[in-house]
A and B are shown apart, each in its own frame.
Chain A
Amino acid sequence: MKSSVITFPGSNCDRDMDVALKKFGFKNKMVWHADTELPKSDLVVLPGGFSYGDYLRCGSMASKSKIMKSVINFANSGGIVMGICNGFQILVETGLVPGVLLRNKYLEFICKNVFVKINDKKNKYFKNFDNEVLEFHIAHNEGNYFCTYDQLKEIEDNNQIAINYCDENGKIEDQFNPNGSIKNIAGIFNKEKNVLGMMPHPERMIDPSLSGEDGSLFFKNLINNLK
């Protein structure tokens, strides 16, 4: 399985993602934002970080960079594209997934472990996953998911919510919502479910001696689903 991680000026989780993908069997290539052609890939990842210093709006500049034309074409032809954190912000700015990510409700940068509940398993990312609840890490200032009423209705009708913030037992309540996201949304798909944007970082949960193992479960499951 071949993967590509796009590096934008200001990305800082690109190498973590590279380590994670390789650990679970992907042949990964790093791709620079100014390149125009995407290497042959089974998976493209937009990593976390602060692309272009979060100028204008988080992800807005990166969404217009040269490589993104190829990424958008890849996604529109059914390619698997995953955006993590700043990568999620870039995805919403391209319009590949609906909505936007606003400043966190209480104006603080949040850096902690959270639990998320898988909402939909009929997709390449979570198919065959045994667990319902995963412990991931979040680190963001703008993760407050927002969309219009009409968009929310469409998202729910199409079952596009990927994961919701919850407690360790999978209970989705306001008190377990770290950033004010509508409906505790932590991650969302496009209509076809080949594009996933999420705030949590699975690549930070791949080493039992440093963190948890739920990221390992995620990547193992993903590569099996892509084979």
Chain B
Amino acid sequence: MKISVIITLKKDVLDPQGKVIHQTLDGMGFDDVNEVRQGKYFEIDTKETDNNKAKAKVEEMCKKLLANLVIENYKIIDPK
């Protein structure tokens, strides 16, 4: 089963890379952008076949490794 995870920076955390991407977009003519926040995306292919169990495992992975909860939030996307 493949489970996807999106990691984003929390609202109050400075994202200098997002800022630079925003500036570059602005310079390219995309001048209606309010803000850009950069994040990470993971696809985890697990042997687990039970949907809920797999999600619980991935949640544990997020808390222990994939995300740093001081600065990041994670969102697990329901497998199709």
Interface residues of A (CB under 8 A from B): 56-57, 60, 64, 93, 99-100, 102-107, 144, 146-148, 151, 180
Contacts and interface: CB of A to CB of B under 8 A. Distances in A.
A56 B68 CA distance: 10
B13 A102 contact: yes
B25 interface: no
B20 interface: yes
Contacts of A56: 65-66
Given A102-B14, A102-B71, A146-B71, A107 B65 contact: no
Nearest to A107: B16
Contacts of A93: 68
Interface of B: 13-14, 16-17, 20, 65-66, 68, 70-71
Contacts, number: 33
Nearest to A151: B70
Interface centre among A56, A103, A151 (most CB of B within 10 A): A56
B70 A180 contact: no
Contact of A60 (B16, B17, B68, B70): B68
Contacts of A57: 68
A146 B16 contact: no
A107 B20 contact: yes
A107 B17 contact: yes
Contact of A100 (B20, B65, B68): B68
28 contacts: A56-B65, A56-B66, A57-B68, A60-B65, A60-B68, A64-B65, A99-B70, A100-B68, A100-B71, A102-B13, A102-B14, A102-B71, A103-B16, A103-B17, A104-B16, A105-B14, A105-B16, A106-B16, A107-B17, A107-B20, A144-B14, A146-B13, A146-B14, A146-B71, A147-B70, A148-B70, A151-B70, A180-B14
User: A-B pairs with the 8 shortest C-beta distances?
Assistant: A100-B70, A107-B16, A100-B71, A103-B16, A100-B68, A57-B68, A105-B16, A107-B20
A217 B66 CA distance: 40
A224 to B, nearest CB: 35
Nearest to A149: B12
Contacts of A180: 14
A7 to B, nearest CB: 22
A180 B13 CA distance: 12
